[in-house]
């Protein structure tokens, strides 16, 4: 019986279900021993994504501020140097 479901699961559905049940039980025992609850893990993942989002786009905001701050100095100096160079000849 090599149907599409068996190929997708990597084995017969019953054996895969049994393996998943045993693995879930083992992981559940480990997480219980570590005193972790499922909701704690979901909140941790949500916080991780939120913090990563904040760091990436917060950094872009700071980079834009740094760009403008630097441009206030660099662009006038560039323009003055170009005007002085074109005035010479």
Same domain for 47 and 28: no
The span from the CA of 79 to the CA of 81, in Å, is 5
Task: Classify residue 36 as left (phi > 0), alpha (psi -120 to 50) or beta.
Answer: beta
With bands split at pLDDT 50, 70 and 90, how would you rate the model's confidence at 14?
Answer: very high
- Clarify whether residues 16 and 41 are in a common domain: no
Cβ neighbours of residue 37 under 8 Å, at least 6 residues apart? 31
Q: Which tens digit of pLDDT belongs to each residue from 66-89?
A: 889 999 999 999 999 988 888 775
Q: Give me the number of domains the chain comprises.
A: 2
Q: Is residue 58 domain-shared with residue 48, that is, in the same domain?
A: yes
Identify whether residues 31 and 51 lie together within a single domain: no
| Predicted pLDDT of residue 60 | 79
Domain that includes residue 70, residue range: 37-89
Interval 19-65: pLDDT, tens: 999 999 999 999 899 998 889 889 999 999 999 988 888 777 788 88
Q: For residue 89, what pLDDT is reported?
A: 59
Same domain, 58 and 18: no
């Amino acid at each position: 019986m090599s149907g599409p479901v068996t190929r997708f699961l990597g084995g017969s559905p019953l054996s895969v279900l049994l393996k998943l049940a045993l693995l879930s039980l083992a992981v559940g025992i480990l997480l219980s021993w570590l005193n972790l609850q499922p909701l704690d893990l979901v909140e941790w993942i949500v916080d991780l994504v939120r913090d990563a989002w904040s760091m990436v786009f917060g950094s872009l905001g700071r980079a834009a501020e740094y760009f403008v701050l630097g441009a206030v100095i660099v662009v006038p100096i560039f323009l003055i140097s170009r005007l002085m160079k074109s005035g010479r000849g």
